[in-house]
Amino acid sequence: MKKIMALAMSIMLGISAIGCSSDKIDDSEIVMSVDGIEINAGTYKKTLELFKQSIEAMYGPEVWDQEVEKGVKYRNKFKDLILTQTIETEAVYATVKANNMLPSKEEIDNAFKDLKASIEKDEEYKKNLESIGVDDAFLREQQEKELAWQKYKENFDKTTVISEQEVQKYYDENKETFYRDEVKASHILISTLDDKEKELPKDKKEEAKKKAEDILKRARAGEEFSVLAKEYSQDPASVTNGGDLGYFKKGQMVKEFEDAAFSTKVGEISDIVESKFGYHIIKVTDRVDEQTTVEDNKDYIKETLLESKYVEQIKKLGENAKVEKNQELLDKIKL
């Protein structure tokens, strides 16, 4: 669920319009106030529609019937999630305003100008926005709220201290995640798939295998592996790097490839390995099998703890905000 909402938080561009069913509702009616900031039905409906479209663009319309809790479908949860996010957004804005950190008119003007330029490049999207009543005033307000949120985050990051004790505690509690078991390898792929990703006929596969066996002999005879890879490998992602795949953990490659890579000694070349992609020749160039230290991971741990504290702080602002809801009106606004 966090993943779904995180995707919806991105800039709401490139989405087709699908409105909410909210007949017989006066858009000027107030659906709620947050720390004295009033939100009318029109603004709330537009917000719902834009986030709804963002979700559908990523997951398709079938997402609404997915069960997220026992007996609760996502469509029923969605409004609550957006309502919570709206409350948190307004609570952050109120906090930024109270601390005299609001974005300047120039900052808002520049952000709005950039947003409008993006919209103007997509005529279809521009029409979609107009069809659901998203005007310049709404877009400008969203930009102001977004900038206020950014300023809050910047100030939070600057003023929040992560102690050495906190770092050590996190490391001790998650030590297994900092164990590094990785292989660095290069490979040459002789594909057994055609241009449409369909498997080649038997005779063509046999030709591919024979080609791979010949290349393996040359590699083991001392020819430069990277040169052979650049000449023969059919893996577009690694061929320009001489077949170099960098470091990878278990679970990142197909099983046949992974098993061979992790069982081949550093400096050695594997036998022919067949996977659904074709025939691989793998050369292992390094292996890391160690417990990394807290010092190795200090920056990552600090970033993780800072983000966790930030999320908790935003949640706290929303929970502590003075919220007044017109629940009857909110219930009338349907997806």
Quote the pTM value: 0.73
Q: Which residues are bridge partners to 332 per DSSP?
A: none
CA–CA distance, 114 with 211 (Å, rounded to integer): 54
Residues 183 and 261 sit within 8 Å (Cβ to Cβ): yes
Interior/surface letters 151-174, b for 16+ CB within 10 angstroms, e for the rest? bbeeeeeeeeebeeeebeebbeee
* Furthest CA-CA distance within the chain: 80
CA–CA distance, 32 with 329 (Å, rounded to integer): 9
**Beta carbons within 10 angstroms of residue 250's beta carbon:** 13
Closest CA to 311 of 156, 147, 158: 156
DSSP letters for 6-66? HHHTS---S------B-TT--TTSEEEEETTEEEEHHHHHHHHHHHHHHHHHHH-GGGGGS
Taking only the tens of pLDDT, the chain with its 335 residues reads 333 333 333 333 333 333 444 457 888 999 999 999 999 999 999 988 888 888 888 899 899 999 888 888 898 889 889 999 999 999 999 999 999 999 999 999 999 999 999 999 988 888 888 888 889 999 999 999 999 999 999 999 999 999 999 999 999 999 999 999 999 999 999 999 999 999 999 999 999 999 999 999 999 999 999 999 999 999 999 999 999 999 999 999 999 999 999 999 999 999 999 999 999 999 999 999 999 999 999 999 999 999 999 999 999 999 999 999 999 998 888 87
CA–CA distance, 27 with 162 (Å, rounded to integer): 45
Q: In what order do the strands lie in the sheet with 323-325?
A: 37-40, 30-34, 323-325
- pLDDT at residue 16, as a whole number: 33
- pLDDT at residue 262, as a whole number: 97
- pLDDT at residue 23, as a whole number: 53
With H, G, I as helix, E, B as strand and everything else as coil, classify residue 268. coil
- pLDDT at residue 5, as a whole number: 36
